[in-house]
Structure 1
Amino acid sequence: MTTLAAELRSRFRSMPNGRHVVAAALARAARPEQELTVSEWADCFRVVSAESGSRFPGPWLTSRVPLAREIMDCLHPDHPARLVVNMGSAQIVKTEVIVNWFGYIVDRAPGPMLVVLPSLDEAVKFNRVKLQPTIDASPQIRHRVKPENSRDEAASTTSFKRFAGGFAQIVTASSSKGLQGISIRYLAMDEISEYPIDVDGRGSPIAQAQARQKSWGDLAKTYVSSTPGLLGDCRITELYEAGDQRRAYLPCPECGSFAPLDYERMQPPSESTNQRVTFACPDCGSLIDQVHRADMLARGRWIATRVAERDPPVPGVIKPADLAQWECAPCEGRCRDWHPSYSWWSGYSNFESWSDIWSRGEDARGNPIKLKVFSQQDLGRPYDPSADAPDWQKLLEARAEWLRGTVPWPACLLTGFIDVQGDRLEWGIWAWGAECQGWLIDCGVIPHPAETDEAWQEVDALLAASWPTANGVTLPVSAWGIDTGYVSPLIYQRALGRHNLRVCRGAAGVRARDALPCNVKNVPLNNHLGTKLRARAVRLHFIGTFALKSTVYQGLRQLAAGPDADGRFGRGTLHLPGWIGEDYAKQLTAEILYDPKAQAKGKARRALLERPGDQREWRKMPGRANEALDIAVGSRALAWLMKVDGWTPAQWAERAADAWGSEPPAEDLFSAPAPAAPTRPSKPLVPLAPTPVRGRRVLSRGIGDRYD
């Protein structure tokens, strides 16, 4: 045998020695794995698939998003943090943190994991676009996760990933079935602001998911991420504020001082900066160009801004020499009593252009619908629908003079709304012009109940009327709406055959806060016995009153604030005429946004006063009528339905030219009207007679006179 072995070795000189091979294999197997944090593991082993839609397929590099490093490292099993909260704008790797954490768990710390997404579609998309492509592209975990196989019960599926020592189940927050019957160590919840308040009568899906971790005790780990929702009803904001409230402080390239990159410090493009958007340093005042951002992010620090009650607040600017005083590792030192919570926005992203952010902010200015998207998706802040009603006294001071019943320049499109009351119908007409600015044209009362023929005769006269401009050109009302009030079947019947009258109702239910300004649905018509009439249906317009009331209030606040230095009002400003009185202004500001959570603070029975989710709701002030506000909201909804929010300045100019003829008044399209006299007359105001128009008749003295 020795001779044979020697002969073989002489013939195959490149063949390794078997004993050496076995010894080397045993040595490799006995060597302990290198200890890695979650971010280090991702840098070593994660491969981003091209199928994920990423701009940078290939090896994952945390250096592209350096601020995500600390967030991921808090998810290591040995880190003391049990809950990690990540609140931010869209596209700042909130979901990628979950994917990296999953890979680390599969490779280094196997255990049961639950991933919760807002809806079934989101859960399916997460697996198809994020998770499964990463598994397929990353060799380190590909062989550990069992492949999907519909014929093998032990294989992975779209919603259930099996691996040695654990599993990962992907469920939706809209059903309690996936949140029951399992025990988990790791919990990842994404976009919790989209979760329903209650699921299948079992309570919050967040609480249900966290209950699955009870048996793991201090070994359990939870990651929560989301873009914010509405201020006062935003769960990610509540979790952020319950933590140590970390913000990213970046160094100034000029003076070296550290400060957050606040949107309020963003400077518009100018000639001195070559038309580039910059940030102003709060310490030295220098303008910071985007070319410095990558280096600033690499040197940035997360600073916990929450302090104990008697401790001094964290300064907005920190000198480099003082950085050690305010830096604090998560769950250590002054932060030991709070979980780590992070807040950042798209300005910190290397993938976002500051110029694009600035453009979106300017486009959203004065438009609450766009402002909501910009606040949540770009700034990473909960949207504040501005609970405070505009000051009605300031609205009276900001009135302008134009003839009642006439359309002022540059308004060119009219919408009207009828509010149904018990003994009367109240109506109003708003005219709309460039940048969705509105002008109140006329208002009045039909002194008959909706059940009477007399009321509908006057409604028909309203529908047939036209309204003159200062040039003498008459404009019809492009769309009329009527509230169903308390007599919905009657309104449905009466509205049939009146082609320009749209039947409206306020959106209700859990999703009312996110409802479109106006959404149309066909509703079957019933006879007097309640039986559905097969051949009859009414098109019911559901109005998103929650958001539109904020829109109206924003427009009134802009009016009260007055024009800018150039004499121009902001987008969406609502202008009021001099002939309205105090009571009409009070009606326009009759509601406030009620916050049950704020009202419950400081009360002994607070737990009984709070509702799940603490949803805000609009409530009428005691002793105030709100018909004028309802009419303004309804008119604005109809204007939105006619797509005026998307009109360009050129489209507005063309529409104004068509409405006013070839020679419109020599006024600027955006300029402020002449202000009204600041003092009110001592006797009741007599309405000015509008220019006679064929087919129009006087229906009533009007709300303005009735309440003056």
Structure 2
Amino acid sequence: MKKEKELKKMIQGKHTIHLIENIVKDSLTPPEDLTIAEWADKYRVLSRESSAEAGRWETDRTPYMKAIFDCVTDSITKSITIMSSAQVGKTELLLNILGRYMHLDPCPILFVQPTVDDAKSFSKERVEPMLRDTKILKVLVEKVNKRESGTVQEKMFPGGYVRFVGANSPSGLASRPIKITLLDEVDRFPLSAKKEGDPVKLAERRTNNFYDSKKIRVSTPTDDATSKIQLLYLAGSQEEWSLPCPYCGKHQSLEFEQLKYKDLIEPEFECKFCGESAIESEWKKYGQTNGEWIAKFPNEKENRSFHLNALASPWVSWKDIIAEYLSVKDDDFQYKTFVNTVLGKTFAVNLDSAMDYEAIYETREDYGAELHDDVVILTAGVDVQDNRLEVEVVGWAYGYESYGIIYRDFPGDPGKEEVWQQLDTFLRKKFKYKNGKFLTIAATLIDSGGHHTGSVYKYVYKKEKRGIYAIKGQGAWGVNILNGFRKTTKKGTPSVNLLSLGVNALKDLTYSRLSILQGTGKCHFPKASTQGYGIDYFKGLTSEVKVKKSTPRGMKIAWEILDGRRNEPLDLRNYATAAIELIPIDLHDKKYNRKGDRK
């Protein structure tokens, strides 16, 4: 009996020594210095019940996450906003952030779901499997929970805890100081947590006590008028995931409108710079490891915001995306879901219905010559793309009735002189009536925005006598159509008189004239197939609608391009319209009649 007691003491002593050794070892060993991506690649295991690809996590599978992970742990960024589609791994992104902080930088963490029930379900269905299968986290949680019991809504770990709450519960949002807030599906949050106000602000106010706090917000967007995630995105750096063109190497965001397809054959993505197209496997040849985030506001370092759509997803193909689009495009409700969950964009609520471009197409008429007899003066608009120049010539008659004369393009690099020489020859052209008389273009306005501003300035230099000017559009409301000239000061290019245009006012004017059925202001178009007025022209001419948009400063009215449309025809008609306003001629004066002769 005595020997048994001595043996027990000896064993207990060894256990105590072993426990002390472990405590000392844990306290003296510095934590690993790992980024979130490095931590996830080393430790994270995807659970079989919550992932299509169970097993070890690999950040290279979703390389667009790396920059997001890095800014979560840097010393500059305060808030991170991710407005994205479904099927890009955004939930796993949040779980990796949570796991890394639990292990290497323990602190108080608040994880907010739209409702309390959502929070409980998320804890059970996503977090608990991660804690079970990611061994380092399992050890941490078990170590603490032997002493303190965790709950579905709260998990304890050495040095901190994570609390899972609903955005509809003001008590859950307002309690305790918090270092890290993780807000999931923000656009499903209620407008107010009962009577306490905006749940996003309530939750993030808890971080004020921590100088190194982080605020992470993630959501698939909803409609444009009420989307919280869009407001947060617009207040940040506004970064788009971009891939290099397989041909020219220039990075560009993955815009759905650039996908070209026919009969569900492998779709191709058209480069907006060189115009070449390639299939998905060519664009993603390196698994997107050569992709990069391009920011609209790169100097915004404290508030980083990212937009991501399903075209970047490794789990859904471009062919599948096109198939889904074709199946829902004619159903407004399903199409809205497609815009939100596949394109990762808000659904715009149109204030006006889209114009019926097919009906306008059917009004085309036979002029009997290049010029209709009623035309008295010609103007032109020119748009500069990266691989071509586009031009429309418009004829004007008494009462500002307009006649489309010709719409065409000049393929070529606007950075080279050859394409401008072709345009110049065209702008000198004599356009003829049936009787053989002719008119030349009286004024031409050329857009100087985009990547070829210097080339535009060089072309228009000393061409004012021919009525050729560079223009710059202003998008604000209340801006007049013509807002005067200013001298340009771009280095390496000649100084020219740059005309400022109010583009919103021009769109209002053009659309009002397109709706006129007869008489003053009516728009006419030629039926001759050689003049360029096919069905695609009319789709472009009517490509925009007025919408109500959310901005960080509140609601505003804006013109927005309809999906799948190109708006160059509308822009060109606007420039030609501004040109007639620039010319000192009053077409309300009846002294102007057919062929420009005076009565």
Q: For the superposition of Structure 1 and Structure 2, which TM-score range results when normalised by the shorter chain? A: 0.5 to 0.7
State the TM-score, normalizing by the size of structure 1.
0.47
In the alignment, is residue 246 of structure 1 matched against residue 239 of structure 2?
yes
Partner of 1:95: 91
Q: Secondary structure at the match of 1:298?
A: coil
Give deviations 1:673-693, integer Å, cap 9, x for gaps.
Answer: xxxxxxxxxxxxxxxxxxxxx
Partner of 1:154: 148
The number of residue pairs the alignment matches comes to 366
Partner of 2:271: 281
Mapping of residues 660-671 of structure 1, within 5 Å:
none
Distance in 1, Cα, partners of 2:103 & 2:176: 22
262 and 296 in structure 1: CA distance in 2 versus 1, 3 angstrom threshold: farther
Partner of 2:296: 305
Give deviations 1:370-392, integer Å, cap 9, x for gaps.
Answer: 11001000000000121224569
Mapping of residues 556-567 of structure 1, within 5 Å:
none
Name the amino acid aligned to 2:119: A
Does the 8 Å CA contact 1:345/1:379 hold for their aligned counterparts?
yes
Partner of 2:32: 34
In the alignment, is residue 192 of structure 1 matched against residue 186 of structure 2?
yes
Of residues 300, 310, 317 in structure 2, which corresponds to 1:335? 300
Does the 8 Å CA contact 1:190/1:226 hold for their aligned counterparts?
yes
Q: How large is the RMSD of aligned CA atoms in angstroms?
A: 3.8
Name the amino acid aligned to 2:60: S
Partner of 1:469: none
Partner of 1:370: 334
Give deviations 1:228-268, integer Å, cap 9, x for gaps.
Answer: 11113211111111101111121122332211111111010
229 and 148 in structure 1: CA distance in 2 versus 1, 3 angstrom threshold: farther
Partner of 1:121: 117
Q: Structure 1 residue 58: deviation in Å?
A: 0.8
Does the 8 Å CA contact 2:225/2:349 hold for their aligned counterparts?
no
283 and 167 in structure 1: CA distance in 2 versus 1, 3 angstrom threshold: same
Distance in 2, Cα, partners of 1:348 & 1:236: 20
Of residues 314, 323, 334 in structure 2, which corresponds to 1:359? 323
Partner of 1:403: none
Name the amino acid aligned to 1:74: C
Give deviations 1:104-132, integer Å, cap 9, x for gaps.
Answer: 11110000000000123322231222211
394 and 113 in structure 1: CA distance in 2 versus 1, 3 angstrom threshold: same
Q: Structure 1 residue 176: deviation in Å?
A: 1.1
Q: Secondary structure at the match of 2:141?
A: coil
Larger relative strand fraction? 2
Q: Structure 1 residue 296: deviation in Å?
A: 5.4
Partner of 1:139: 135
Of residues 46, 49, 73 in structure 1, which corresponds to 2:47? 49
Give deviations 1:656-706, integer Å, cap 9, x for gaps.
Answer: xxxxxxxxxxxxxxxxxxxxxxxxxxxxxxxxxxxxxxxxxxxxxxxxxxx
Q: Secondary structure at the match of 1:85?
A: strand
Does the 8 Å CA contact 1:294/1:350 hold for their aligned counterparts?
no
Distance in 2, Cα, partners of 1:258 & 1:389: 35
Name the amino acid aligned to 2:346: P
394 and 66 in structure 1: CA distance in 2 versus 1, 3 angstrom threshold: closer
202 and 254 in structure 1: CA distance in 2 versus 1, 3 angstrom threshold: same
Does the 8 Å CA contact 1:269/1:278 hold for their aligned counterparts?
no
135 and 395 in structure 1: CA distance in 2 versus 1, 3 angstrom threshold: same
161 and 36 in structure 1: CA distance in 2 versus 1, 3 angstrom threshold: same
Give deviations 1:1-53, integer Å, cap 9, x for gaps.
Answer: xxxxxxxxxxxxxxxxxxxxx9999999856443110111000011111121x
Does the 8 Å CA contact 1:251/1:296 hold for their aligned counterparts?
no
Name the amino acid aligned to 1:127: S
248-257 or 340-349: which moved more?
A: 248-257
Mapping of residues 632-671 of structure 1, within 5 Å:
none
116 and 398 in structure 1: CA distance in 2 versus 1, 3 angstrom threshold: farther
Does the 8 Å CA contact 2:350/2:548 hold for their aligned counterparts?
no
Does the 8 Å CA contact 1:252/1:296 hold for their aligned counterparts?
no
Q: Which runs of 5+ in 2 are unaligned?
A: 1-19, 364-514, 516-532, 540-545, 558-599
Does the 8 Å CA contact 1:249/1:303 hold for their aligned counterparts?
yes
Does the 8 Å CA contact 2:81/2:232 hold for their aligned counterparts?
yes
294 and 350 in structure 1: CA distance in 2 versus 1, 3 angstrom threshold: farther
Q: Secondary structure at the match of 1:361?
A: helix
Q: Secondary structure at the match of 2:52?
A: coil
Q: Structure 1 residue 214: deviation in Å?
A: 1.7
Partner of 2:67: 70
Name the amino acid aligned to 1:295: Y
146 and 179 in structure 1: CA distance in 2 versus 1, 3 angstrom threshold: farther
Name the amino acid aligned to 2:95: V
284 and 139 in structure 1: CA distance in 2 versus 1, 3 angstrom threshold: same
Name the amino acid aligned to 2:327: D
Name the amino acid aligned to 2:178: I
Q: Which runs of 5+ in 1 are unaligned?
A: 1-21, 307-327, 329-333, 400-556, 558-563, 571-591, 602-609, 617-708
Of residues 254, 259, 264 in structure 1, which corresponds to 2:252? 259
Mapping of residues 93-492 of structure 1, within 5 Å:
93-146=89-142, 154-216=148-210, 218-269=211-262, 275-292=265-282, 293=284, 295=286, 297-306=288-297, 334-336=299-301, 338-389=302-353
Give deviations 1:183-232, integer Å, cap 9, x for gaps.
Answer: 1111000111011111221101111101111222x211110000111113
Distance in 2, Cα, partners of 1:294 & 1:169: 41
348 and 294 in structure 1: CA distance in 2 versus 1, 3 angstrom threshold: farther
Does the 8 Å CA contact 2:87/2:316 hold for their aligned counterparts?
no
Give deviations 1:588-630, integer Å, cap 9, x for gaps.
Answer: xxxx9767x78x97xxxxxxxx7xxx699xxxxxxxxxxxxxx
Does the 8 Å CA contact 1:246/1:302 hold for their aligned counterparts?
yes
State the TM-score, normalizing by the size of structure 2.
0.55
Partner of 1:417: none
Mapping of residues 583-662 of structure 1, within 5 Å:
none
Name the amino acid aligned to 1:282: K
Give deviations 1:59-111, integer Å, cap 9, x for gaps.
Answer: 110011000111112111x4311100111001211111111111111110000
Q: Secondary structure at the match of 1:295?
A: coil
Does the 8 Å CA contact 1:179/1:208 hold for their aligned counterparts?
yes
Name the amino acid aligned to 2:66: R
Does the 8 Å CA contact 1:118/1:191 hold for their aligned counterparts?
yes
Name the amino acid aligned to 2:335: L
Q: Secondary structure at the match of 1:352?
A: coil
Q: Structure 1 residue 55: deviation in Å?
A: 1.6
Does the 8 Å CA contact 1:146/1:156 hold for their aligned counterparts?
no
Does the 8 Å CA contact 2:32/2:104 hold for their aligned counterparts?
no
Distance in 2, Cα, partners of 1:27 & 1:178: 36
Does the 8 Å CA contact 2:224/2:548 hold for their aligned counterparts?
no
Give deviations 1:133-186, integer Å, cap 9, x for gaps.
Answer: 01100111111014898xx88211111000111000000111212112211111
Does the 8 Å CA contact 1:147/1:156 hold for their aligned counterparts?
no
Mapping of residues 663-702 of structure 1, within 5 Å:
none
Distance in 2, Cα, partners of 1:349 & 1:146: 35
Does the 8 Å CA contact 1:232/1:615 hold for their aligned counterparts?
no
